[in-house]
Amino acid sequence: MSRNGKLATDLVQKLERDIVTGVLKPGDKLDERSLSERFGVSRTPVREALQTLAGSGLVATMPRRGTIVASITVADLIEMFEVMAELEAMCARLAARRMARTDIEKLIALGNECGTLQEHADADAYYEANVNFHEVIYAGCRNSFLERQTKNVRNRLAPYRRLQLHRPGRVKKSNAEHSEILDAISTGDAERAGRLMHQHVAVQGEALNDLLAIVPRGYLEPLAS
C-alpha cells in the first residue's frame, strides 16, 4: 500500500500536514502548475500526490475543473462524526482489553499533560496533547488496520474538530472526559471505555448546533453540490 515515487510522497506529507493543521482550509484551490513551481518539481508528481490525497478524501477533484481542499456538506459532517465516534469507541474497548502497563503509564502522563495545559487555557497546545492522548489509545487497540482507518477519518475531520476546542468550556469538559476514559481503560472496563469514548467524540444535539454555528463560511458546501 506504500505510495509512489519519493517526490510525490514528500508532497503528500507536506500537503496533508498543511490541510490537517489548518494552513490550507476547506475550499482552497490547489492548482497543479503553482504547486509544481512552488516545490520545484514537474506536474507529474504533483498530480500523483493530489490523487493520493483525493483517495484519502482530504482533497476533492472535479474532472476538468481542478482540485480543492475537501469541503463537505453538513450531512457529510454528521455522518462522519457518527462513524468517528464508533471507531474511537472500538479503539477504546480494545485498548481497555489489550493495552500493556507501559502504554497505560504513557496514557496517564498524557492525561496529566492535558490537565495542566487545560488549566493554562492554551487551546492550541491542548489540541496537540489531546491528539497525542487519542493516538496512544488508537495504538493501544493493537489493531494497526483499525488504527490507520481511525486516523484517516480523524484527519478528514481535523479542520472541523479543531474549531470545537475554541468554544469556551469545551476544553475543561473534554479533559474531565479524558479522566473518566483513562480510568475505564486502566481498570480494563472495555464496555465503559467504549461508551465514554463514544460520548466524548460524538457530536449530537446542542453540540452539533454549536459546532455548525462556528464553522466559517466556505468550510461547508451547500447540500446540492
Partner DNA sequence: TACACATTTCTGGTATACAAAAATCCATAG
Partner DNA sequence: CTATGGATTTTTGTATACCAGAAATGTGTA
Binding site for a second copy (CB under 8 A): 1-6, 47-48, 51-52, 54-57, 60-63, 70, 76, 79-80, 82-83, 86, 90, 143-146, 149, 153
- Bridge partners, residue 68, by sequence: 29, 60
Residue 123 touches which of a second copy, DNA, none (CB < 5 to 8 A by kind)?
Answer: none
**Nearer Cβ to DNA (65/101):** 65
Minimum Å gap between C-beta 158 and DNA is 23
**Nearer Cβ to DNA (33/101):** 33
Q: Binding residue for DNA (CB under 7 A) from 8, 107, 136, 185?
A: 8
Contact between 65 and DNA by CB under 7 A: the answer reads yes
Instruction: Locate all alpha helices (DSSP H) within the chain, ordered by sequence.
Output: 6-21, 32-39, 43-56, 74-98, 101-119, 123-140, 144-164, 170-186, 190-201, 205-214
Residue 222 touches which of a second copy, DNA, none (CB < 5 to 8 A by kind)?
Answer: none
Give the SS3 label for residue 191: helix
Minimum Å gap between C-beta 43 and DNA is 5
**Nearer Cβ to a second copy (71/130):** 71
Residue 102 touches which of DNA, a second copy, none (CB < 5 to 8 A by kind)?
Answer: none
Contact between 32 and DNA by CB under 7 A: the answer reads yes
Contact between 38 and DNA by CB under 7 A: the answer reads no
Is the CB of residue 86 less than 8 Å from the CB of residue 146? no
**Nearer Cβ to DNA (64/120):** 64
- Which residue in 206, 125, 214 sits closest to 171, CA to CA? 125
Residue 24 touches which of DNA, a second copy, none (CB < 5 to 8 A by kind)?
Answer: none
Contact between 43 and DNA by CB under 7 A: the answer reads yes
For residue 153, what are the CA distances in angstroms to 80, 127, 150, 223?
A: 7, 17, 5, 21
Report the alpha-carbon distance of residue 202 to residue 77 in Å, rounded.
Answer: 11
- Bridge partners, residue 61, by sequence: 67
Is the CB of residue 164 less than 8 Å from the CB of residue 211? yes
Report the alpha-carbon distance of residue 18 to residue 65 in Å, rounded.
Answer: 22
